[in-house]
Each structure stands twice: as C-alpha cells, then as structure tokens.
Structure 1
Amino acid sequence: MSYQQKTKETDHSVVEFIESVDNPKKREDAYKLVDIFSETTGFEAKMWGPSIIGFGSYHYKYDSGHEGDAPLVGFSPRKAKISLYFAPGEPKRENLLKEFGKHTTGKGCVYINKVADIDIAVLQSLIVQSVQFLQATYPNS
C-alpha cells in the first residue's frame, strides 16, 4: 500500500471556501491574506485539500523515498486561529518572527489571531524567504 498524500491541489473555489468561513472578521482577513500572498509570490490562490489556500507548488522527495507536491506558501483560516504555512526548515524565519507581531508557532506553522496583529512587511519577507528557500532546495519543481 502506498502512502496517499492528504493535501493535494484541488480545483475547488477559493472564494467559495472563504465564504464558508463563519466568522466575518476571519473572512475579511482571509481575503486580505489572499491579496498579500498573491502579490508577493506572483502565484494565484489555489485550494490544497479541504482547507488550505496555497500559492505556487514544489515537488519534494525525501531520502526515505517519500515524495509529493506541496504549496510553496499558504494559509488556512481555521476556527481558533489563522495558520500560516512557510517552508519547513527555512533558517531565517526565527529572526523575522521576532519583528512579526503577535503570533505563536507550531511544527510547520505560524498561528495568528488576526491580520491587524502582525506586520505586513514582515509577512511579505517571510513569504519571499520561504519561496526562495524552497526553490533553491527543490530546483526541479
């Protein structure tokens, strides 16, 4: 049995997904984030799995042989917080996060409550660093 990747790019509508978010402030923030991520990356927003809005993509292959595709960067307006997805292992992230504003971090995510809590210029730097790091790490994507 081969491993099936859970988060794949889908052709579901990003707008429909955002419109299904209950909290009106979260919806507003999701639209703001779509604009910031698209303008910063030059990629259009696509749905990845049922709840991640991703931008661009790369193909990874681990030493274990496991491989798949993932968005270069993305976010998800979840019920509790907004999850921001940047490159795992990107070395400059820690320094940038010191200037980012109110957030918490998980294994591969940075969590924010609302866009008003963060510095947009730092968000753009995080996005750019992430994209450059992944494109350098996985050049054949």
Structure 2
Amino acid sequence: MAALKTVVTKVRPVDFIKAIEDEQKRKDSSTLLKLFKEVTGEKAQMWGEAIVGFGSYHYKSERSTQEGDWPLTGFSPRKQNLTVYIMNGFSEYGDLLKKLGKHKISGGSCIYINKLADIDLKVLATIIKKSVAVMKKKYHA
C-alpha cells in the first residue's frame, strides 16, 4: 500500500499563512486560523503542503485497505477559493448552509468560499463545532 501524502508536517501554520501572496486570502486565512482554534479547542497543524488541520482521527476505509489519520476539520487557501473541510459531510447542515451566505459545496466534505466577507462567520463556526462533535463521537477522537 502506498504511503499517504497528506500527513502532519513540521511547518507552522502561521508561517504558511504569512507566505500566502494574495493579501485577501492571507487575511481571511488568519481569521479562519483564529476561528478554528476557538471553535475546536485544538492546535493547528499543517497537513501536507496546504491544509491547516485541527485535531485528528484514525480511519479505515470500508471500500479499500487504506487507513490513516486525517484532521477532524480544517481549511486550505487554494488559488481559486478558500476550502473548508467538514469531514462528516453536509446531510445534517441543510438549514445552516442556507444561512451561511455565498458558497459552494462538493459531494464530499468541502465548502468553497471566495472570501470571508461573503459568508456569516457565526454560521460557519456552528457548522464546524457540530461537525467536530460528530467526528469525535464517531471515531472516539
């Protein structure tokens, strides 16, 4: 089995964020760093080259032999948008997503946001908090 590429690194999330060239993404990422720390109570860690993750859980895929560790939640300042990872998906958050503001979601676990001014941070905080609680319960993290 191939080794997972997305693992915790020694890079400090603050240094990663300071190196973001786009000023708006850098500011928004700093805001998200504070928000995620407050909401999760977890230490921020870099996962791979571009994911700022909080907490972790161990998973075993039901469809393959793959298993590993992954952040409970996190975000990544991508070129096109900010990606927020809600690891348990969105089936429980329909009403909250309607109140979140301008965003897109993937079929899996990603919320795509152009800039934080487009959304309600209190609603995002609620989604993150609920998701982390579900993940901790499910994976005993």
TM-score normalised by L of structure 2: 0.92
Give the alignment of 1:89-100 within 5 angstroms.
89-100=89-100
Quick check: 1:90–1:130 contact (8 Å CA) kept in 2?
no
In structure 1, what is the Cα distance between the partners aligned to 2:21 and 2:66?
A: 36
- TM-aligned CA deviation for residue 126 of structure 1: 0.9
- Give, in angstroms, the shift of residue 90 of structure 1: 4.9
Give ranges in structure 2 of 5+ residues lacking alignment.
none
Q: For each residue in 1:59-113, what CA deviation from the matched residue of structure 2 results, as whole angstroms up to 9, or x when unmatched?
A: 1112233211000010011111000001133531233211100001123210001
- Per the alignment, residue 29 of structure 1 pairs with 28
Equivalent residue number for residue 17 of structure 1: 16
Alignment of 1:1-141 (within 5 A): 2-63=1-62, 64-106=64-106, 107-139=108-140, 141=141
Q: TM-score, normalised by structure 1?
A: 0.92
Give aligned pairs, total: 139
Gaps of 5+ in 1: none
* Contact 1:90–1:129 (8 Å) recurs in 2: no
**What secondary structure is seen at the aligned counterpart in 1 of 2:137?**
helix
Over the matched positions of the two proteins, sequence identity in percent amounts to 45
> Helix, strand or coil for the counterpart of 1:89?
coil
